[in-house]
Amino acid sequence: MKIAVTGLNATDNPGPGVPVIRCLKESKEYDIDIIGLFYDSLDPGIYMENICAACYMIPYPSSGVNALFDRLKVIHEKEKIDVIIPTLDSELYGFVKLQGKLADLGIKTFLPTAEQLNIRSKDKLFEFCDTNQIKAPKNILAASVKDIYSISEKFEYPVVIKGIFYDAYVVNNFEEAVSAFNKIRAKWGYPIIVQEYLKGDEFNVVALGDGNGQMTGAVAMRKLYITDKGKGWAGITINDNRLIELSRKVIERINWRSGMELEFIKSAETGEYYLIEINPRFPAWTYLAPAAGQNLPLLMLKMMLGEDVKPLTSYTIGTIFVRSSWDLITDIKTFEQIASFGEIKWTK
């Protein structure tokens, strides 16, 4: 079976592609070949051993869905892809729009609807949480620098300034807020989210929804080491049923279909969990889940293939991941092949 996976950017802001691939390759039931889809010829996942059988460059989401579909058709003609698993927030809307056309080519996907994607988007999360009695930090949407002036009327500094897809800065005063606003505007555009800052520890859940309101698995984790980019570089599975039940509630209310990452802050003042973000795909730390007993990407594949699956309800507490950086060596010929032709096949 050939499964195409995106998000091979295993950098210091890692995409979830490589960990999702590692999960799939643990399958004993299926003989899986991975087709890596990449945006940048230096995405490290391309060069990792025993990860992809072949890799193909695809156009950035800003090129539009038609360009993406044309490219996928060419790749499909060569590889006969059975399944595509997109793993990056910014490309999901494009893949969701192409679901029907991909199905016509015989390519399976397991994605939320555009409406489901919108409900959990960063600019609408507070509204969703408010409606469903889930605690979440308050926010305002900044559409121009004028809105930054109103921060002090609504919140006390520090506050968090967030991009619609990525990036978040904790800022302590007006000057820092303007600087963060400008950085995010240049990179990710509008809207920009200004969110109440909550003091406390960060907890995350990776979960899977079947699209009919059922959560088919979930693993909760606490970050043990956080980089200056806010990325978890080590984490440990924990046992707090409140996190799992909150995740179940979110999946039930949205009828979420696909993998998901829920990010919580446990308030240092009250001990209550606040939902700060829902990411519409598996996280970069997904490989911790099968290590703890829940191979959620593989479970999603089974659901995609129409198999009857039983929800996974337990996992090993105290399983730890420690991320590492590792220099991969290649040669100029290989790089030329990837950079000039946008594709490479690895010999097994």
Partner 1 sequence: MSKYSVPETLAVSDSGFLFLPNTGETFTLNLVGKEILNLLQDGLSEEEIVKHMLDRYDIDERSLEKDLSDFIMQLRKYSIIKEE
> Applying CB under 8 A, which residues contact partner 1?
201, 221-222, 224, 235-240, 266, 317-318
Q: How far is the CB of 222 from partner 1 (least distance, A)?
A: 3
Q: Which two tokens stand for residue 149?
A: 């002036």
Q: How far is the CB of 195 from partner 1 (least distance, A)?
A: 23
Contact assessment for residue 105 and residue 80, using Cβ atoms and an 8 Å cutoff:
no
Q: How far is the CB of 281 from partner 1 (least distance, A)?
A: 23
**Nearer to partner 1 (CB atom), residue 221 or residue 284:** 221
The CA distance from 286 to 210, in Å, is 17
Q: Which two tokens stand for residue 76?
A: 């499909």
**Nearer to partner 1 (CB atom), residue 54 or residue 220:** 220
Q: How far is the CB of 19 from partner 1 (least distance, A)?
A: 19
Q: How far is the CB of 239 from partner 1 (least distance, A)?
A: 4
Q: How far is the CB of 82 from partner 1 (least distance, A)?
A: 38
Q: How far is the CB of 209 from partner 1 (least distance, A)?
A: 24
**Nearer to partner 1 (CB atom), residue 119 or residue 288:** 288
Residue 85: closest CA among 338, 342, 347, 302 = 302
**Nearer to partner 1 (CB atom), residue 29 or residue 201:** 201
Q: How far is the CB of 152 from partner 1 (least distance, A)?
A: 34
Q: Which two tokens stand for residue 191?
A: 């809207």
**Nearer to partner 1 (CB atom), residue 221 or residue 260:** 221
**Nearer to partner 1 (CB atom), residue 111 or residue 221:** 221
**Nearer to partner 1 (CB atom), residue 119 or residue 207:** 207
**Nearer to partner 1 (CB atom), residue 143 or residue 224:** 224
Q: Report CA-CA distances (Å) from 39 to 67, 204, 214.
A: 13, 27, 33
Could you write out the three-class secondary structure of the chain? CEEEECCCCCCCCCCCHHHHHHHHHCCCCCCCEEEEEECCCCCHHHHCCCCCCEEEECCCHHHCHHHHHHHHHHHHHHHCCCEEECCCHHHHHHHHHHHHHHHHCCCECCCCCHHHHHHCCCCCHHHHHHHCCCCCCCEEEECCCHHHHCHHHHCCCCEEEECCCCCEEEECCHHHHHHHHHHHHHHHCCCEEEEECCCEEEEEEEEEEECCCCEEEEEEEEEEEECCCCCEEEEEECCCHHHHHHHHHHHHHHCCEEEEEEEEEEECCCCCEEEEEEECCCCCCCCHHHHCCCCHHHHHHHHHCCCCCCCCCCCCCCCEEECCCCCCCCCHHHHHHHHHHCEEECCC
**Nearer to partner 1 (CB atom), residue 170 or residue 236:** 236
Q: How far is the CB of 321 from partner 1 (least distance, A)?
A: 12
